[in-house]
Amino acid sequence: MELFACRASRGFADKVVEALNKVRPEWEPEIHLGLSDVLSFSDGEFQPAFIESVRGANVFILQATFPPAENLMELLLTIDAAKRASADKVIAVIPYFGWARQDRKDKPRVSIGAKLVANLLVAAGADRVMTCDLHADQIQGFFDVPVDHLCASKVFIPYIKSLNIENLSIAAPDMGGAKRAQTYAKHLACPVIICHKSREKANVVASITAIGEVKDRNIIIVDDMIDTAGTLTKAADVLMQMGARSVSACATHGLLSGKAYDNINNSRIKCVMITDTIPLTTDPNVDTSKIKVISMAPVFASIINKVQNYEPISTEFVN
């Protein structure tokens, strides 16, 4: 087994390696992140390269494909380099699968970006894909190679349980998130609230209404991602106006683009829980006091270890 990381996910990869070394048998040598480099040209073109041999190895390449598009391109080029260097198998470990919101034609003359990215990964030489909380479950079917679809509920549910929140309710931010909310509610033994939203255009919410018992409840909104946080903050305002005692949120992927940090800090949201599939900003001028990061690295490490050793992985999923 050889593990490598592209530039956007080096920090996450270090955590995965640390977690892998905790679960490996004592007789196996310590696992290290493989040596790789990226040659950059003055016009912006770049060329990934492996500094060590990968011949005959199972190569795991870690990279989240959040914007800019160079992150996806770097992953594709690295997969291609591994195949051309005679790797036996190449497994693309993608903590956040970008373009997943383009999973269907929701209006005429648009692309299905998720299918295109799936085709690109397979064409580059990926023999297997490992990812987390796809925007739509059916994206797994876009691939002609095995897909390991991890769920952040594996880390979120135990953490929420540890908080011992009274009068807890789980809320879905839209109708599409009802199944995810129901899973959380079942394990937390609490009721579900469904928010219904209508959009004027992408990233702009026109109105939100909530279905369910809200008054005097401590509500956690669960979602797969937070982009501008517009939906989230508007839903929190509506729930508080309906008599909620507090509103928090947990979302797997913290894209947090545009004015997301300001929207969260200026809202009535008590806390936002996200994972480290996308790195949090390191800008010292940005207030992240409302944001709690929970690591998915141990879950990815466990799956990588089991895939490498041909062990069943069904125990890693929360149903």
Q: What residues are labeled active site? A: 197
Beta pairing partners, 148: 130
Task: Give backbone dihedrals phi and psi of 23, rounded to 5 degrees, phi first.
Answer: -105, -10
Rounded CA separation 37/24 (Å):
27
Find the farthest-apart pair of alpha carbons in the chain and give their distance in angstroms, rounded: 61
CA–CA dist 50, 37 (Å, integer): 6
Q: What distance, in Å, lies between the first and last C-alpha atoms of the chain?
A: 30
Q: Please name the residue that has the structure tokens 């909380």.
A: 133
Distance of CA 95 to the CA centre of its chain: 5
For 229, list phi and psi in degrees, rounded to 5: 70, 15
Q: Single out the residue of 212, 224, 229 nearest to residue 269, CA to CA.
A: 229
Of 7, 155, 3, which is closest to residue 68 (Cα–Cα)? 7
Structure tokens at 102: 């383009």
Q: What share of the chain is helix, strand, coil (3-state, %, to 5)?
A: 35, 25, 40
Distance separating alpha carbons of residues 129 and 126, to the nearest angstrom: 7
Q: How far is the CA of 235 from the CAs of 21, 39, 127, 195, 315, in angstroms?
A: 41, 45, 40, 7, 34
Integer Cα distance of 200 and 50 in angstroms: 47
- Closest of 109, 35, 110, 102 to residue 72, by C-alpha: 102
